[in-house]
Structure 1
Amino acid sequence: MEDIYFPDRYLITSALPYANGPLHLGHLAGAYLSADAYARFQRLMGKDILYVCGSDEYGAAISMKARQENVRPIDIVDKYHEQIKESFDRIGVKFDIYHRTTADIHAETSQGFFRDLYKKGEFEELTTEQYFDEEAGVFLADRYIKGTCPKCGYPEAYGDQCESCGASLSAQELIDPVSVLTNSAPTLRSTTHWYLPLDKNEEWLREWIQHGVLEGQKQHDPDLWKNHVVGQCMSWIDQGLQPRSMTRDLDWGVNVPEEIPGSKGKKLYVWMDAPIGYISATRQWAKDHGADWEKYWKDKGTELIHFIGKDNIVFHCLIFPAILKIHGDYILPKNVPANQFLNLEGQKLSTSKGWAVWVHEYLDELPGKEDVLRYVLYKNMPEQRDAEFTWKGWQEANNNELVNNLGNFINRVVVLTNKYYDGVVPSFDPDLEFTGSGNSDMPIWHDTEMLDLFDRLDAYGNAIRKYEFRSALRTIMEISSAGNIILQANEPWKLIKEDEETVKAVMNCSLQYAAALSMILDPFLPFTSSKLRKILRLPALKGEGELVEMMGALAEGEALIPEGHQIGDPIHLFERIGDEVVEEQVEKLKSRAASKSETDQIEVNEPSQPALPQKPEITFDDFQKLDLRVAKIIEASRIEKADKLLKISLDTGGEIRTVVSGIAQQYDPEAIIGQQVVYVSNLAPRKLRGVLSQGMILMAEDSQGKLAFVSPGNDISPGSIVR
């Protein structure tokens, strides 16, 4: 095993996702699956691990989403925080805490940072010219300004970044800027903010990034930092760092501490408050568990690792480390293994263009295939360069690798063990050489195979420690392939008739491989790992150093699954995926993108939405059968274990009726109390999730699936008939 330094503990973070939309595959491939595998592996190695994350709930993106949907920012973040948290849980990303930046402890923590830096005199108070929307009467945050990119000519660049060429920009660099609020040309006005003097920190940042040295002491191995991470940071440093504003003129965010003169109406810049969300999440976790949060942030025995996408490199490698060092006492990241971007079906993934695969939709539509997605994303993880996800590649990886290799090996081992030994791990002569049945001209020794397994497991662990997850996954599949070769070379299904003793050795060896796989799969395919351990009747993994124990057993020549152990019945780990599934998903992706494109075009030229397909024609008599009436919502609550359903009580003007409505993902129950609605009063009652629904509320739905109440207005009494 390589001589590798092992710290006392690890603090692992993943970039806080914006709570203004659902998770997509690019998110998983960028910052979360790599961190999850790393954390799971280190837990299996018996390390003190804290893996923190949470929703980033402030910033211009949240406010923009709220304006688009005509709701409050808190409504947006409440909705998407829960959806994102649930998606992570369902796909198997195992945080120690998933927090949120709207929590009181976060405001307290981030304001405390700002206050301390202010008292130390570390900020520069500068008055500058910034864009102001005269019609809306507000200063415009970077994301509220669009224009032509001066670097590549892309006409829809934002005031902080061009999403076409990836260049970081300032709003005043844009050509022909316009406000996204009113589509008018903004004017420049003077405003005062507090700036972090990055230019004064340039020297130590250069030495730390490039050589891993801080104040004469080695902090990290620069060879383990990815080239594109170091390259992007050095590009910024070589151009000369500039003071960076740490506050904004916004109506949604963490307030600048009110005791600071001039703080009224000022909010913390998102890249001042968001990374501090890692600290506030740690504090909340410690509070919940009676632990000491400071040892994870201030003890030099802790290794801090930020898992992010490449668009967050500068903030995690320059700005946040500068804030931490200026504040004092805090450790700096040991590594920032940023991944590059994931493309989708030959195109750049774009939520604005509808070219995305949403995680919650995948989980809803393809149940039981969580690990298929994880496998494909690890296999194609954009560790050093942009990678691509295709539905055809997803199908082929499942059918050719998971089914034919891993699934086939496990199934054959379990089936044969049950067939020959009633599911009991056979004992064998350890000195027996088994030579195969004609498919191999090389003798195979049980001990040799186990030593080979140890070496492969050692390579697997070293790959993860170097953040080479694709390599570690390949090693898993190589171990499975080696198991298949052992079986194929010896053909126990033939050899059983002439050499039972050799078959016992072959099957015992194969079961040892299966037991090893059941553990090392956990960081990558946790659902499969759990299923396999149940098949082998091995104890569930707790992440308490089990891999260390297994490696120790292998080193001592001990069995991973003992002779005489009873395993369970065979169950297929994976199922083949047909072409029709791929065709359906590709068509859905293309249809959504086409619909989005049409909608965007119409929104530019016309005030209306695109027309939706009409249902078959009906007669007036058909319409007359409907009894449409006005009602008022007086109570509403969520239905347990039904993500889309609300239980609603209606005042119908003469009685109280209960209806069940599938609007829970777009409306919070407390937000619709008092809403006037139109409902079908003569719809036959039926039970939905155990609740008797006595009618149906009418909703308007646009081409993007957005719902709105069909409301007659508050001046119409409940019980009134709609004709």
Structure 2
Amino acid sequence: IVPDPVVSKERDKEKIVRARFDSESVDVQGGPALTLYYGFDTFISTKLEFSHAVSLLWSAINSVNKYIEDSAPWKEKDRGILSNILYTLAESLRLIAVYVYPFMPSAGDNIWKQLGINTGIEETIASSPGYREWAGYKLSGTRTSKGGALFPRIDLKKAKETRKSSEDRVNPSRSKENKVETSGDNLISISDFSKVRLKVGKVITAEKVEGSNKLIKLQVDTGETRQVVAGIGKTYSPNDLLGKKVAVVTNLQPAKLMGVESQGMLLAATDSEGALSILTVDRDVKEGAKIK
């Protein structure tokens, strides 16, 4: 259920998010020069620059993502501040649904329905003059519902198969010419494998990520100290990992897991029942040694 915002004085974090959507200027450091409220009117109604309108919308969405990371609601103990965070997120999503609807109607409609708003999005837009304003619709008290992913991940293997099938139908003769017998599936070349940088790393410190029963934050020496977050907490305790020599992927793009940055990945094996075992070396190999 979407809570009422109960904190009497807004924090700067909430003000910055609100500044992206509000019809009035909010004077805070980091606030945007052009809000969505006026930006859409400028780029769509006056200039017909739809790409600029979409860019402005995505900038607002990115600011909401940053707000989630900075506010870390999974850590917040103050119920008042937590209510404010949840309300701010829900209201941001409501307005994102409104602004994304002209470009992606199904996405906007799905967000609207998952927020638990009874009236349809088109009906609300037509009948509520303040629908584009912050708190222009009473969202507190609505019960959200769990739905499917708004933008499901693309299965690259299926996408490639679909593309190849389409190409074969368009040019069947070329398909026959290029057909080559191979054994096995998902084969890659040695050049593909060489793109993955694997090194031996020694676990220096290990601790559980607050709020998770699965994630463990590790400091690993791979010739240089790097932080790695691994989902191995149900199998290993932090003490189990200290001093272990492990296989680490060191050239992955950094990612944040529950607000904690990970700068690599441990290699592990799982059996058919899901039992997990991290990969280690069977001799005392120096930290930073390349695995190839």
Q: TM-score, normalised by structure 1?
A: 0.21
| Structure whose residues are more often helix by fraction | 1
Q: TM-score, normalised by structure 2?
A: 0.48
Larger Rg: 1 or 2? 1
